[in-house]
C-alpha cells in the first residue's frame, strides 16, 4: 500500500490543496489591490467585464446547465437596469434598489417560464426571442417610467469622500463584491442537488421523470434564477454605465451574449467569466484593427475559435494537456523486438 508521501508525490502540483488555497489567496489580493494600481480605463474595462460576465452566467444556468433555449437574456438585464434607475430617481435606499432590480426580472421570468417551460425546441426559442423584440418598443412607449427613446440615467455610485477613492475604483469594488457573491452562490447551486437535477433534465427528460425529478419544475426554476441573475447584471450595468435606453434591450445584444457563452464555455462557471471578457474585449480589438469591418472580423474570429475549441476557451487547458500527453507517449521502435516477440522466438527455438 503506497505511503502518504508517495501519494502526495503522485498528485499533480496544481491539484494539491495548499496550491489551490494559495491561488485563491493570490486572486483575492489582486482583486483588493488591483483597482488601486490600475489606470481609470483599465478599471472601467474590468468593471464592464464583470457586468456582462454576470449576464453570461445567468444565460449559462438556463442553457449551459439545464439545456433550455433562451434568446432573451438581455431583456432581463435591461429590466434590471430600468428598475435600478427608477428606484434611484425615486430616492430609494440602495439596498432596496438592488432588491427591486433582482425581484422585478425574477417575477417576469417566473411568469414567462410558467407559460413556456412546457414547450420545447423552437417553440420556447420563439417565446424568448419575443422578449427583447417587444421590450424595445415597450420601453419607448412607457416614457414616464423609462424616459422613452432618450433613455434615463442614474448617478448613484460616486465614491464617498471618506473612502478616498476615485469613482472608477469605487465602482469596480462594487462590481467585484456583487459579482463575486453571485458567482459563488451560482457555483454552489450547480454543484449541489439542484445542479445534478439540472444535468439530468438536460440529458433526458424522460429519465428525469422516471427518477422523480419534474422537468417542468426545474426548467421553471432555472429560468427564474437566470432572470434574477440578469437583474443583478442590470443593476451592475447602472453602477458602471449609469445610463440605459431601449438600445440596451436590443435583440442583437442577446445574440452576442449567446455567442459569448459558447465561446467562454457552456456549462462552466469559469466559462461565464471568459465569456464576459470576450463580450467586452472583442469589439475593442476589432475596432483597433479596422472599425469599418468590425462585424465581419468578429464573425471570422468566432468561427475560428469554435473550429479550434468546440468546448470554448475553458477547454483550452484540457486540449493542451491532451496534446502534450500524445506527444510525450513513446512510439514503439519497430526495429527492436518487443517482449512478446522475444518469448515467441525463444519458444520456437526450443521446439
The reported pLDDT for the residue numbered 195 is 92
The reported pLDDT for the residue numbered 11 is 58
Rounded CA separation 146/140 (Å): 7
Q: What is the pLDDT of residues 241-260, one digit of tens each?
A: 999 999 999 888 998 999 99
200 Cβ contact partners less than 8 Å away, ≥ 6 residues apart: 207, 208, 211, 213
Average pLDDT over residues 93-119: 91
The reported pLDDT for the residue numbered 59 is 94
pLDDT of 1 above 80? no
The reported pLDDT for the residue numbered 338 is 45
The reported pLDDT for the residue numbered 49 is 96
The reported pLDDT for the residue numbered 336 is 45
Helix (H, G, I), strand (E, B) or coil at 267: coil
Q: Identify the sign of the CA torsion 199, 205, 206, 208.
A: positive
215-240 helix and 193-203 helix, angle to the nearest 10 degrees: 110
Q: What is the pLDDT of residues 109-134, one digit of tens each?
A: 999 988 887 776 667 778 888 899 99
Q: What is the pLDDT of residues 330-346, one digit of tens each?
A: 555 544 444 444 444 44
Average pLDDT over residues 31-51: 93
Cell numbers of 149, please?
Answer: 427613446
Confidence of residue 92 (pLDDT cuts 50, 70, 90): very high
Confidence of residue 27 (pLDDT cuts 50, 70, 90): confident
Q: Which helix (H) or strand (E) holds 103?
A: helix 94-116
Distances (CA, A) of 331 to 26, 112, 275, 278, 342: 41, 58, 39, 39, 19
Our CA angle for 126, 131, 133, nearest 5°, is 90
pLDDT of 309 above 50? yes
Amino acid at each position: 500500500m503506497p505511503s502518504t508521501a508517495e501519494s502526495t508525490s503522485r498528485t499533480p502540483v496544481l491539484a494539491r490543496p495548499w496550491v489551490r488555497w494559495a491561488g485563491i489567496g493570490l486572486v483575492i489580493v489582486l482583486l483588493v489591490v488591483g483597482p488601486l494600481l490600475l489606470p481609470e480605463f483599465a478599471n472601467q474595462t474590468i468593471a464592464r467585464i464583470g457586468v456582462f460576465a454576470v449576464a453570461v452566467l445567468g444565460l449559462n444556468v438556463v442553457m449551459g446547465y439545464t439545456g433550455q433555449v433562451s434568446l432573451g437574456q438581455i431583456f432581463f438585464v435591461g429590466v434590471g437596469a430600468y428598475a435600478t434607475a427608477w428606484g434611484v430617481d425615486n430616492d430609494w435606499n440602495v439596498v432596496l434598489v438592488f432588491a427591486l432590480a433582482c425581484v422585478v426580472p425574477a417575477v417576469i421570468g417566473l411568469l414567462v417560464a410558467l407559460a413556456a417551460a412546457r414547450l420545447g425546441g423552437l417553440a420556447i426559442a420563439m417565446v424568448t426571442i419575443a422578449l427583447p423584440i417587444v421590450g424595445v418598443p415597450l420601453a419607448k412607449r412607457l416614457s414616464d417610467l423609462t424616459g422613452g427613446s432618450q433613455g434615463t440615467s442614474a448617478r448613484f455610485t460616486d465614491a464617498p469622500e471618506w473612502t478616498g477613492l476615485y469613482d472608477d475604483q469605487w465602482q469596480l469594488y462594487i462590481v467585484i463584491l456583487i459579482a463575486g457573491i453571485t458567482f459563488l452562490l451560482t457555483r454552489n447551486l450547480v454543484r449541489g442537488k439542484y445542479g445534478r437535477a439540472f444535468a439530468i433534465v438536460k440529458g433526458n427528460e424522460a429519465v428525469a421523470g422516471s427518477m422523480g425529478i419534474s422537468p417542468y419544475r426545474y426548467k421553471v426554476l432555472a429560468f427564474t434564477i437566470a432572470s434574477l441573475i440578469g437583474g443583478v447584471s442590470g443593476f451592475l450595468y447602472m453602477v458602471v454605465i449609469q445610463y440605459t435606453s431601449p438600445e440596451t434591450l436590443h435583440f442583437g445584444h442577446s445574440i452576442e451574449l449567446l455567442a459569448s457563452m459558447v465561446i467562454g464555455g457552456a456549462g462552466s462557471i469559469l466559462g461565464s467569466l471568459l465569456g464576459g471578457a470576450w463580450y467586452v474585449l472583442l469589439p475593442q480589438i476589432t475596432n483597433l484593427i479596422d472599425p469599418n469591418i468590425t462585424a465581419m472580423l468578429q464573425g471570422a474570429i468566432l468561427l475560428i475559435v469554435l473550429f479550434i475549441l468546440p468546448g470554448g476557451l475553458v477547454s483550452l487547458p484540457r486540449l493542451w494537456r491532451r496534446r502534450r500527453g500524445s506527444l510525450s507517449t513513446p512510439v514503439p521502435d519497430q526495429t527492436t523486438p518487443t517482449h512478446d516477440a522475444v518469448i515467441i522466438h525463444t519458444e520456437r527455438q526450443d521446439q
